[in-house]
Amino acid sequence: MIFLGCSKAMHSSTVIRCFAASVRKLRSALGISQEELAERADLHRTYIADLELGARNPTLLTIKKLAEGLGVSAADLLSEN
């Protein structure tokens, strides 16, 4: 699996950072702030910031909330491309 913003040669230890890059890229493409995404996803703004820094390992429920906040499916959030 390749996350947005990451290469095929992704090492397993970089999965969290690549997920973080995907969230940041999708959020930026929507032109919304971390605060706006947090509100849409029913999460705290500092949690979004930590996610985008790769400092958090989100649960499946959090991934679902983020996907809904970004207007994509959880599968889209984790898919190649």
CATH number at residue 61: 1.10.260.40
The reply to whether 6 falls in a domain is: no
> CA torsion sign, 50 to 70 to 31 to 21?
positive
Pick from 62, 49, 46, 51: nearest CA to 20: 51
Please state the domain count of the chain. 1
pTM over 0.85, yes/no: no
The reply to whether 49 falls in a domain is: yes
Tokens of 23: 């969230």
Question: pLDDT tens track of the chain, all 81 residues?
Answer: 455 555 555 555 577 888 888 999 999 999 999 999 999 999 999 999 999 998 998 999 999 999 999 999 988 787 655
